[in-house]
Structure 1
Amino acid sequence: MKSSFNNIIQSEKVVLVDFFATWCGPCQALMPILKDVKTEIGDAAKIVKIDIDKNNELAVKYQVRSVPTMILFVDGEPKWRQSGVLQKSDILNVLNVHSGIAV
């Protein structure tokens, strides 16, 4: 998973990674919000979900201590991170600020 994850975050597009757990209530609440964001931004950015229980190495590497935690990668580098549930407008604003994705 690690090498494919590196390939994903090195994408030409910005990549929003959602570190989540299946047992996490707030993570479940974030899912439909991220689907709405994806619908709105289309192919302008990637949204990737990482289950911390199945990918503990990645969670440790990026110091994910609570879920959900979202990290925005630009050219493979983390440019923004936030734990907790954000609203669609807040996520869209972050994408716009860090990558110029206008919606």
Structure 2
Amino acid sequence: MLDVDKKTFEEEVLQAEGTVFVDFYGDGCVPCQALMPTVHELAEKYGDKIKFCALNTSKARRLAISQKVLGLPVMAVYRQGQKVAECVKDDATPENIEKMILKYYQ
């Protein structure tokens, strides 16, 4: 799991080859903290074909807003620099996140 910030997001996510999963989380977000162990497990399970990144939105608010991340938690999948899928707030359950990953795991 690669931690990205406003300096590395473009290179590591938007310009990356293949599929990139991004966990948008915040310092005070309890649901984000609860999902983190699951996301790390999924990164170990599917990290051979999908790049897993995490962005702390508390330290990159403008970047989060530019990616249309307006509430947390948000789990998103990017391909060729475009967001192609996301799980937001109440839909960001371990089951839904894994389903979304499997859709792009090739």
CA distance in structure 2 between the partners assigned to 1:68 and 1:7 by the alignment:
23
Q: Are 2:90 and 1:86 aligned?
A: no
Q: Which runs of 5+ in 1 are unaligned?
A: none
- The count of residues paired between Structure 1 and Structure 2 equals 99
Q: Are 2:56 and 1:51 aligned?
A: yes
- Checking the alignment, whether the CA contact within 8 Å between 2:43 and 2:52 is kept in structure 1 is yes
The one-letter code of the counterpart of 1:7 is E
Q: CA deviation at 1:96?
A: 2.3
- Checking the alignment, whether the CA contact within 8 Å between 2:75 and 2:97 is kept in structure 1 is no
Q: Are 2:65 and 1:65 aligned?
A: no
Alignment match, 1:6: 10
Q: CA deviation at 1:13?
A: 2.7
* TM-score, L = length of structure 1: 0.84
Q: CA deviation at 1:3?
A: 5.1
Q: Report the identity percentage.
A: 27
Across the aligned residues of Structure 1 and Structure 2, the Cα RMSD in angstroms comes to 1.7
CA distance in structure 1 between the partners assigned to 2:31 and 2:7 by the alignment:
28
Q: CA deviation at 1:8?
A: 1.1
- Alignment partner of 1:43: what SS? coil
Alignment match, 2:21: 16
* TM-score, L = length of structure 2: 0.82
